[in-house]
Amino acid sequence: MKILVTGGAGFIGSNFIRYYLKNHPDDQIINLDKLTYAGNLENLKEVEKNTNYKFVKGDICDFDLVNTLVKEVDTIINFAAETHVDRSIMGSEDFVKTNVEGTRVLLDAAKNNGLKRFHHISTDEVFGSLGQKDAPFNENTPYDPRSPYSAAKAASDHLVRAYFHTFSLPITISNCSNNYGPYQFPEKLIPVFVTNLIEGKKVPVYGDGLNVRDWIFVDDHNRGVDLILHKGKIGETYCLGGKSEKTNLEITNFILNEFGKGEEMIEYVKDRAGHDRRYAINFSKIKKELGWEPQVKFEDGLKQTIEWYKNNQAWWKKIKSGEYKDYYQKQYGPR
Ligand code: NAD
Ligand code: DAU
């Protein structure tokens, strides 16, 4: 396969590229990434000299560039997106541009050039928010996005399905739950908390800390994407989840415990606007059809992730002292 991976310099995309090249050494990847605040070529040092890997800096909204690159590949995997809910609340323009218009550009380029596959990376957030006793989301759950981020992701999913129905574009979609692991940008829950504790700072818990997410180790997600790419049915959607529902406070206490710290390090801060209460995924379709299920136990994956942040302080310290610092202070006040 010759694959155009978009957003491959971000968290999940860079983990995907490393994973994929290791498992498919004869395939080729072009990584198209705009290198926004979230994109970082240091995530890809391991593969930058691999002759089957090429990086191109550019925007998925740039049709001419995308249309040229698409001629060199047979497959697109679209990871590129604006991804942080809090940022989408501060301003939604980039979210609509990249997540909606960017996906439209990729779809048109794929359609014009007769690609064999367009795989779109989506999220469980498009399904909305669950009550404590509701059944987990599955592929038939109606869309009900509630943040500018999830609304823009939902719009992109609709476009992808529309190109399948209208133009027979060979698409697949995966809707995954919350990922964690190495190279996650320190604005998301787990890396914020772990890096704050390494720095001796408190951890900011939103609201009452009882919101629930279904956590999946990033390699489990990417193994699922790989399987869908090779064995998934055209036109289908697959939900991927971690079999690991946790409240934010459960995660906080686990991390605090790993650092030998207690509740004195928690700072309860103002809740996120429109904060979704619970996400959870029923992944029985992909389990039954493709034999996929998550393999990494949450506690093991989280310990491994904490170790990674302890051993790679130069990576995140550079980020935390740059542009991100202004954003963080706007969110939580001066530190
Ligand atoms: P991330 O924010 O770490 O990385 C996004 C990447 O996209 C960055 O490298 C950035 O530079 C690039 N990018 C942004 N706009 C671009 C543009 N216009 N053109 C080209 N590149 C652009 O994100 P992530 O957490 O790795 O998420 C990747 C994908 O997975 C997203 O589509 C996200 O919606 C989806 N997803 C994420 C999670 C999660 O828990 N992080 C869960 C389910 C689905
Ligand atoms: O569910 C998949 C989604 O998971 C992806 O589509 C998104 O791209 C990804 O960002 C993530 O969204 P969340 O909003 O669930 O993740 P985040 O890490 O921002 O927050 C997780 C939970 O922790 C949420 O309930 C808010 C809370 N939180 C978050 C931060 C950053 C805190 O309490 N304190 C924090 O500092």
Is the predicted pLDDT of residue 53 greater than 50, yes or no? yes
Q: Is 263 annotated as catalytic?
A: no
Ligand found nearest the CA of 44: 1
Burial of 287-324, coded b for 16+ CB within 10 Å and e otherwise, reads eeebebbbebebeebbeebbebbeeeeebbeebbeeeb
User: What average pLDDT does range 97-109 have in this prediction?
Assistant: 99
Which ranges of the chain would DSSP assign to H, the alpha helix? 11-23, 63-70, 85-90, 93-95, 103-112, 148-167, 189-198, 218-231, 248-258, 284-290, 298-311, 313-320, 323-332
Per-residue model confidence as pLDDT tens digits over 196-220: 999 999 999 999 999 999 999 999 9
The rounded mean pLDDT for the chain is: 96
Quick check: CB of 153 below 6 Å from ligand 1?
yes
Angle of helix 189-198 relative to helix 248-258, nearest 10 degrees, comes to: 30
Give the integer Cα–Cα distance in Å for 95 and 36. Answer: 12
Q: Is the pLDDT of residue 231 over 70?
A: yes
Q: How confident is the model at residue 20 (pLDDT cuts 50, 70, 90)?
A: very high
**Nearest bound ligand to the CA of residue 80:** 1
**Does residue 335 register a pLDDT over 60?**
no
Residue tagged 């690609």 (tokens): 115
Does residue 322 register a pLDDT over 80? no
> pLDDT (tens digit, 9 = 90+) per residue, 22-48?
999 999 999 999 999 999 999 999 999
pLDDT of residue 325: 63
Residue 125 a catalytic site member: yes
Is 124 among the residues known to form the active site?
A: yes
- Pocket probe mutation, ligand 2, options 36, 85, 98, 329, max atoms within 8 Å of Cβ: 85
User: pLDDT tens digit string along 220-229?
Assistant: 999 999 999 9
Q: How far does the centroid of ligand 2 lie from the alpha carbon of residue 248, in Å?
A: 9
Q: Looking at domain 2-332, does it have CATH number 3.40.50.720?
A: yes
Statement: residue 253 has pLDDT above 60: yes
If you measure from the C-alpha of residue 192 to the centroid of ligand 1, how many angstroms do you get, rounded to a whole number? 17
Instruction: Decide if 119 contacts 77 (C-beta within 8 A).
Output: yes
User: Which tens digit of pLDDT belongs to each residue from 168-184?
Assistant: 999 999 999 999 999 99
Q: Is the CB of 84 under 6 A from ligand 2?
A: yes
* For residue 147, pLDDT beyond 90: yes
The full set of domain ranges for the chain reads 2-332
**What sign does the CA torsion over 30, 34, 39, 45 have?**
positive
